[in-house]
Every structure is written in C-alpha cells, then in structure tokens.
C-alpha cells in the first residue's frame, strides 16, 4: 500500500475553440512544473458554451507536443452536448451526453470520437465522461472499442469495475492530502485567476508528488471494486448533494 499522497492533474473541455489566453495559463504551468496531465479532449465540439474563440490552428499540434512529453489523451465524449436523460453510474447530473443511450449508439459515438482524435495523430488511452454521465452500456462500448481505462469515481486509489480500470477523480481544486491518489479536475475555460494562482502555489510545494497516468497505476495497482469503495462513493455523493442544497439556501 502506497502511504504517500500522489496527485494527477486533469484538464477538461479541451477543443480548438477554447479561449486561448485561458488555456495558455495552464500550458505554462505544465511546462514550468514538467507535469504529465490527463487532457480530456472533445473531438467534435457542438457545445456553444465551449465556443469561446475562433478555432486555434495550433491546437492539435500543441496536444501532440504535450502527449509526446507524457500527457495522457482522454476521449471527452463526442460533441459535448447533454441531450440524454439516463441515470449515470455516478448520479451527479440529470442531463448527460451518453447515459441512457443504447449500446449501439454509444459505441458508434465512441468509435467516431476515437477516430477523430487518431486522425489528429493522437493516441487516446482513457475515457472522461462529460458531466460524469455514463452507464453500463458506456462501459461495454468502451471495452468493445479497446478503451479499458477511465477517469472518474470517488475512491482513494484505482479500482476495477465493469471490466475497466477506474482512476478516481475526487477534487475540483488543489487540496493537500496525506495518502491515496487524488485527481484534480480543472476547466481552463472557466477557472479564475485566483484559482490558477492557487494551483501555482500548490505546485510550488507539491509538484514532485504529481504523477502521470502510467506512474499512478504502478504506484497504486488497481484492485477489485469493493464495499469500502462503495461507501466512499456514497459518502462523497452525499456531501456534494448537501453542498448544492446549502448553496441554494444561501441565495
């Protein structure tokens, strides 16, 4: 058992029309601290919220350069449009892109997304569901398309569930931990300057504790999904629901 905390950085909603200056802040941090993050890429964005700027002609070459330096490319849906209303394995949102769609539809969408990324000479190796929305059909479709790793869940170390390895993603900002593997998920399009400053301060102290996906799986070998993982997941979901209710009551 690894008794030292390790961290993964995950950046979501990457696409050619993201706001360039906001993305540059994270690009600079990746280079400065020699990070090997998870880059969750939308292959064919149709979400107007992600249309922040004209398409950047250098976007794909930048991703290729980051992948060559150790970043892991993740398939982040296909169009990033939450048009489905199925129940996700992690019930965080009611509207999703994948949960509730048939197995055939999901496999078609995943296949199309993978082909688009590969056409850009990228090598997607894991899945990141938009809005945490995925179900058992998603897991079957991913396996059928050769993807056996996803970033999601609330345990403190990787586990095996539904035929895939789950790399937990529990944080939406830097938090110091004592043990376990912790994925910090950030969205370059919406992070404030204060949030970027917090990340830089955290990296100045803890950069040596950030790992790549490959290193994470070596340091924390996946184990079967168990009762302890289930309780951690329920506890985390309950806390998020209470937090949302508190925000509503404060308005």
The reported pLDDT for the residue numbered 86 is 84
- Give the residue from 31, 82, 93, 35 showing the smallest Cα distance to 213: 35
The reported pLDDT for the residue numbered 42 is 98
The mean predicted confidence, pLDDT, of the chain is 92
Beta strand 164-167 pairing with 159-161? antiparallel
Cα dihedral sign for 188, 232, 126, 205? positive
The reported pLDDT for the residue numbered 1 is 45
The reported pLDDT for the residue numbered 242 is 58
Cα dihedral sign for 120, 149, 40, 116? positive
Identify the residue with better confidence: 60 or 4: 60
The reported pLDDT for the residue numbered 228 is 82
Ordered by where they begin, the domains of the chain are 6-226 (3.20.20.370)
Q: What is the mean pLDDT of residues 143-157?
A: 96
pTM over 0.95: no
Q: Does residue 250 register a pLDDT over 70? A: no
| Rounded-to-integer distance, Cα 199 and Cα 204, Å | 9
Q: What is the mean pLDDT of residues 179-189?
A: 96
When mean pLDDT is compared across 13-17, 146-150, 228-232, the lowest value belongs to 228-232
Each residue's pLDDT tens digit, 27-74: 999 999 999 999 999 999 999 999 999 999 999 999 999 999 999 999
Each residue's pLDDT tens digit, 226-249: 888 878 887 777 666 656 554 555
Identify the residue with better confidence: 97 or 88: 97
How is residue 159 written in tokens? 């586990």
Each residue's pLDDT tens digit, 93-115: 678 999 999 999 999 999 999 99
Q: What is the mean pLDDT of residues 166-173?
A: 95
């Amino acid at each position: 058992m690894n008794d030292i905390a390790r961290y993964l950085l995950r950046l979501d909603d990457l696409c050619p029309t993201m706001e360039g200056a906001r993305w540059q802040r994270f690009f600079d941090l990746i280079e400065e601290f020699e990070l090997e993050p998870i880059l969750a890429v939308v292959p064919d964005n149709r979400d107007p919220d992600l249309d922040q700027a004209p398409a950047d002609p250098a976007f794909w070459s930048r991703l290729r350069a980051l992948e060559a330096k150790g970043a892991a490319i993740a398939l982040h849906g296909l169009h990033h449009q939450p048009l489905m209303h199925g129940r996700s394995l992690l019930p965080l949102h009611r509207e999703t892109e994948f949960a509730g769609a048939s197995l055939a539809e999901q496999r078609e969408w995943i296949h199309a997304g993978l082909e688009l990324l590969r056409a850009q000479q990228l090598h997607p190796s894991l899945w990141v569901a938009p809005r945490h929305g995925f179900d058992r059909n998603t897991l079957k479709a991913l396996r059928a398309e050769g993807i056996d790793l996803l970033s999601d869940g609330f345990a403190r170390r990787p586990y095996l569930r539904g035929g895939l390895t789950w790399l937990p993603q529990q944080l939406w900002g830097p938090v110091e931990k004592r043990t376990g593997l912790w994925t910090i998920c950030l969205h370059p399009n919406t992070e404030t300057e204060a949030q970027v400053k917090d990340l830089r301060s955290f990296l100045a102290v803890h950069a040596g504790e950030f790992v790549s996906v490959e290193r994470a799986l070596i340091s924390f070998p996946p184990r079967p999904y168990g009762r302890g993982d289930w309780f951690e997941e329920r506890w985390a979901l309950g806390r998020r629901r209470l937090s949302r209710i508190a925000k509503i009551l404060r308005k």
